[in-house]
């Protein structure tokens, strides 16, 4: 089975604590690594999980608060020391790109790889990455500063061949890829064998949305509608709902409501305030709104397929 997996490197908010590191995730899609946010300590967590720098070529920053990018200069410097080659694309707001360029020009001017900056504009919705199997989109979140989320969508998979039917109709090997993509088979005498006779349905494609940091907003639910698995910040419990909104954050219950409105199959909560010694109350409140909730934790690997 093709790999589509989320690795949690950090799920705390604001500052590192004894329990949690600041925000960072790495999505492994068929052995290509995509990092989302890069809080302090991310490269250490990256190593602990046995991930490979050589497979990391895209880093997506949600916004310009330190707990989401203070780990980025150190990570890039370490990658340079490991002689990673090719290019690394950083998807980031314009001011963040300017700051990173100044930093890298001073500390890492002899980097063996090229750093490409893909500028995200405030409130932007667009495709920021695409290959043969995956498409990544960005969309606005609603925080105290410009902030964007990301949706990773697996492209439609090929249909499954029916070996007996393929053999019976003497389908040549050269035609199999087209048939898996949905084409009918035309025999030499002009007879058309419908695709439905030669194949069965493809496996469903999978999607994942990253929503941190944001206050609860129905526009988020609309933007991630139909996504299978949603990561949504759950910084506070119900008793701090007013504080959450004032600071541009969400409660765990609100995260559950967004997942319900979006029609998701699974919710991952994270970005926990340092005030909590246990996420039990956050899990309980989110679960009262949505049935399948996973509590993020450093080192957790979640298979999306």
Confidence of residue 11 (pLDDT cuts 50, 70, 90): very high
Taking only the tens place, the pLDDT of each residue in 180-203 is 989 998 988 889 888 988 899 888
| Domain residue ranges in the chain | 4-157+203-301, 160-200
Taking only the tens place, the pLDDT of each residue in 83-104 is 899 999 999 999 999 999 999 9
SS3 175: helix
Spatial contact of 27 and 208, defined as CB atoms under 8 Å apart: yes
CA distance 34 to 26: 5
What contacts 166, CB < 8 A, 6 or more positions away?
176, 179, 198
* Residue 272 pLDDT exceeds 50: yes
Percent of the chain surpassing pLDDT 90: 85
CA distance 103 to 15: 22
Confidence of residue 1 (pLDDT cuts 50, 70, 90): very low
Taking only the tens place, the pLDDT of each residue in 124-177 is 999 999 999 999 999 999 999 999 999 999 999 888 899 998 888 888 999 899
pLDDT at 80: 93
Kindly state which CATH superfamily the domain 4-157+203-301 is placed in: Ribonuclease Z/Hydroxyacylglutathione hydrolase-like (3.60.15.10)
Considering the entire predicted model, what is its pTM?
0.93
Q: Which of 67, 223, 228, 237 is catalytic?
A: 67
SS3 198: helix
Q: How many CB atoms lie within 10 A of CB 41?
A: 20
Average pLDDT rounded to a whole number, residues 7-30 = 96
Is there a catalytic annotation at residue 67? yes
pLDDT at 258: 98
Confidence of residue 2 (pLDDT cuts 50, 70, 90): low
Average pLDDT rounded to a whole number, residues 44-53 = 96
Q: Are strands 4-10 and 301-303 parallel, antiparallel or unpaired?
A: antiparallel
* Residue 302 pLDDT exceeds 90: yes
pLDDT at 103: 93
Q: Helix H segments across the chain?
A: 42-48, 72-81, 94-107, 163-168, 176-180, 195-198, 218-223, 241-246, 252-262, 280-287
Taking only the tens place, the pLDDT of each residue in 228-271 is 999 999 999 999 999 999 999 999 999 999 999 999 999 999 99
Nearest to 232 by CA among 274, 290, 275: 290
3-state helix, strand, coil in the chain (%, to 5): 30, 30, 40
Token code pair at residue 189: 């005498």
């Amino acid at each position: 089975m093709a790999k589509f997996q989320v690795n949690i490197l950090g799920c705390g908010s604001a500052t590192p604590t004894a329990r949690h590191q600041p925000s960072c995730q790495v999505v492994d899609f068929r052995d290509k690594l995509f990092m989302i946010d890069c809080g302090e300590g991310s490269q250490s967590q990256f190593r602990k999980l046995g991930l490979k720098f050589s497979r990391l070529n895209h880093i997506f920053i949600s916004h310009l608060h330190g707990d989401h990018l203070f780990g980025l200069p150190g990570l890039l410097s370490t990658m340079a020391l490991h002689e990673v080659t090719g290019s690394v694309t950083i998807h980031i707001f314009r001011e963040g790109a300017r700051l990173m360029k100044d930093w890298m020009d001073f500390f890492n001017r002899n980097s063996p790889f090229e750093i490409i900056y893909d500028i995200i504009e405030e409130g932007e919705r667009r495709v920021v990455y695409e290959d043969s199997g995956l498409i990544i989109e960005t969309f606005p979140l609603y925080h105290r500063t410009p902030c964007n989320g990301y949706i990773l969508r697996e492209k439609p998979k090929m249909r499954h061949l029916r070996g007996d039917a393929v053999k019976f109709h003497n389908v040549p090997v050269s035609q199999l890829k087209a048939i898996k993509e949905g084409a009918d088979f035309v025999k030499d005498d002009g007879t058309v064998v419908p695709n439905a006779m030669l194949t069965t349905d493809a496996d469903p494609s999978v999607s994942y949305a990253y929503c941190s940091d944001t206050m609860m907003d129905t526009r988020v639910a609309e933007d991630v509608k139909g996504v299978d698995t949603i990561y949504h910040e759950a910084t506070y419990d119900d008793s701090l709902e007013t504080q959450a909104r004032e600071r541009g954050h969400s409660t765990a219950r609100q995260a559950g409501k967004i997942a319900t409105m979006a029609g998701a199959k699974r919710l991952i909560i994270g970005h926990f305030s340092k005030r909590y010694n246990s996420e039990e109350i956050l899990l309980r409140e989110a679960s009262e709104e949505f049935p399948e909730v996973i509590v993020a934790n450093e080192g957790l690997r979640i298979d999306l397929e």
